[in-house]
A and B are shown apart, each in its own frame.
Chain A
Amino acid sequence: MMITEIVFAALVIIILTGALLAVGLKNVFYNALALILCLFGVAALFIYLNSEFLAIMEVIVYIGAISIAIIFAIMLSRPMTQKTEPENRGKVIRSAVLSALFFGVLAKVIASTAWPIASEQGDYSIKGIGKMLLSTQALPFEVISLILLIAIIGALVLSSPEDNAS
C-alpha cells in the first residue's frame, strides 16, 4: 500500500537528516540534539516494523541515558556562547578512516546474518528477548552486566574524595 511507503520514506529522511546534522553542525550542543532526532527516528522505524519493545528500549537507553549523558558532558565542559574551534584536518581524516572501518565491520556482520521474519503481525519481542536473555544468551548477558559493574566501581573510585592525598 502507498501510505506505508510514504511513512517509511519520511522516517528515512528524518533519520538521515538527524545523522547529517549531528556530524555537520558547528555548535556541539546542536550536534547532540540532532543525534537525538536521529535516534528518535530509529525508534519510530522499530514501531513501523511492529517491534514496540525495541522502540521503547531505543528511547529509554539511547535517548534517556546516553544522549542525556552526552548533553551533561557538553554542559559541564563549556559555556553556551563560547566559539567553536576551527576544523582540524588531521582529526577529520582520522575519524573518517575509523568510521569507515567500523562501517565495514558492521556491514559485514549485517550481510552475513540470516534475518528470519519473526512474525507478520503483533509484537513477540518482549517474550522472545526475555527468554533468550535467561537461557541461550545468558553468558553474554552476564558479561555485559559485569562490564557495567566495573564501570560503576571505576566511576566511584575516580570520583571519591582522596583521603590519603591530604
Chain B
Amino acid sequence: MTLTGNFILDQTLTIILYGTIVVLFVSVNALFLVWAERKISARIQLRQGPLHVGFQGALQTIADAIKLISKELIWPRESDKFVFWLAPILVFAPVLSAFIIIPLSQHFVIRDLNVGFLFVFSLTNISFIGIFIAGWSSNSKYALLGSMRAVAQNISYEIPLLLSTMGIVMAAGSLRLTDIVAYQNKYWFICTQFPAFLIFITAALAEANRAPFDIPEAESELVAGFHTEYSGMRFALFFLGEYTAIFISSAIGASLFLGGWHGPFLPGPVWLLLKTYLLVFIVMWIRWTFPRLRSDQLMALAWKVLIPFAMFNILVTAILIYYQKFFI
C-alpha cells in the first residue's frame, strides 16, 4: 500500500513539476515571441518597433500582458455562455500537451510515445473544434465566418502536413521523435527531403493561421476573425495558443528536418532551441513579406500543389529506399 502511495505521489509530483515548467516556458516564450515579432516586422517593413518601455522596448510585452490580465472579461449578449467559456481552453490545452513529446536531448523527453509527432497532429484537431465553437458561441457574423474559414483551412492543410513527414518516417523506420533525431547523426533530413521541408513549413504556417494564410482573422474583412468577441485573458489564451503553436511546429520541424539536438560543442537542448527559433524567425519573415492569399487561392494551393507534390515525394522516397537503399 505504501509502495503504491509513494508511486502515485511520485507521479503526481512529476506531472506537477513538468506542468509548471511547461506553463512557465509557454508564458515567457510568448512574451519573447511577441516582442521579437514586433522587432522583426519593424526591421522588414522599415518602421519603428517598440522602443520606450525597457531596453529596446523589451518590457513592452510585459506591460501588454499586465493590461490583458487586468481587462474586463466581456460576455457578449445572446452568446452561449458555457461554450463561450470552454472555447479558449479547448484551443490552448492541446497546444500545451504537445510539449510531452518534444525531445530536448537524447534522454530528456517527458514521454517518448511510440506514435511520436502524430500525437501532436491529432491533438490539434481538438484545437480546431475550440476555434469552431468560439466562432459559433460568439453569435457574431464575423466570428462565425472567421471560424468557418479557419476550420476549412486547417482541415485542408493537415493533409499535406502529415504527408510531408511520411518520407522521413519511411527513411527512419519509426514514428518516435527520439528515433528520428537519432537517425540524423550523419546528415540531416533537410538534405534528402528538401521538398518535404518546404511543404511542411508552408502547411505549418497555414495550420497556425499565420499570414500569408491568415484569412480566418483577416483584419480588413473580419475585424479579428473567430476571437472578435473575446477580451482580456480569454483573448490572451488564444494569443498564447497561437504563439505556442508556432513554437511547437517549429520544434517538430527542427527535430524532423534539422537534426534536433545534434550539433557540435553546445549541449543538445541549446541546439534544439537555436534551430527552433531559427524556424520561428523564418515563419515571421514570411508573414511580414508576403501579402494575404485569397480564400480560393489558399484551397487551390493545398489541394492542387502541396498534396500532389507531397504524394510524389513519398513515391520517390519509397522507390529510392526499395531499389538503392539510398537512405540506409
Contact = CB atoms under 8 A, between A and B. Distances in A.
Contact of A29 (B136, B148, B151, B155): B136
B4 A75 contact: no
Contacts of A57: 122
B185 interface: no
B129 A52 contact: no
B132 A122 contact: no
Interface residues of B, number: 29
B122 A64 contact: yes
A125 B113 CA distance: 13
Going nearest first, the 6 A-B pairs with the smallest beta carbon separation are A64-B125, A59-B122, A123-B114, A52-B115, A56-B122, A60-B122
Given A71-B132, A75-B136, A60 B114 contact: no
Contacts of A123: 114-115
B136 A126 contact: no
Contacts of B144: 75
B288 interface: no
Contacts of B296: none
Contacts of B8: 3
Interface in B120-144: 121-123, 125-126, 128-129, 132-133, 136-137, 139, 144
A81 B83 CA distance: 14
Contacts of B115: 52-53, 55-56, 123, 126
B118 interface: yes
Interface of B: 4, 7-8, 78, 80, 83, 113-115, 118-119, 121-123, 125-126, 128-129, 132-133, 136-137, 139, 144, 148, 151, 155, 158, 175
Most A CB within 10 A of own CB, among B115, B128, B133, B137: B115
A80 interface: yes
Contact of B83 (A33, A65, A122): A33
Interface string A45-86: 000000011011101100111011001100100001100000
Contacts of A60: 118, 121-122, 125
Interface in A1-38: 1-3, 29-30, 33, 36
Given A29-B80, A56-B119, A60-B125, 18 more contacts: A29-B133, A33-B83, A40-B126, A52-B113, A52-B115, A52-B119, A53-B115, A53-B118, A55-B115, A60-B118, A64-B155, A64-B158, A68-B125, A68-B155, A71-B129, A71-B133, A75-B148, A122-B114
Nearest to B132: A71
Contact of A80 (B129, B132, B136, B148): B136
A33 B83 CA distance: 9
B218 to A, nearest CB: 20
Q: Tell me whether chain B's interface is mostly helix, strand or loop, or mixed.
A: helix
Contact of A68 (B118, B123, B129): B129
A59 B175 contact: no
A30 B136 CA distance: 12
Interface size class on chain A is: 20 to 34
Most A CB within 10 A of own CB, among B78, B121, B122, B128: B122
Contacts of A68: 125, 128-129, 132, 151, 155
Most B CB within 10 A of own CB, among A3, A29, A30, A75: A75
Nearest to A81: B78
A62 B121 CA distance: 14
A29 B139 CA distance: 13
16 contacts: A2-B4, A29-B136, A33-B133, A52-B113, A59-B122, A59-B123, A59-B126, A63-B125, A63-B126, A64-B158, A68-B128, A68-B151, A75-B144, A80-B139, A81-B78, A123-B115
Nearest to B1: A2
B283 to A, nearest CB: 23
A58 B113 CA distance: 16
A63 B129 contact: yes
Contacts of B119: 52, 56
Nearest to B94: A59
A67 B126 CA distance: 10
A2 B2 CA distance: 12
Given A33-B83, A64-B125, A56 B136 contact: no
Interface string A113-134: 0000000001100100000000
A68 B133 CA distance: 11
Nearest to A6: B8
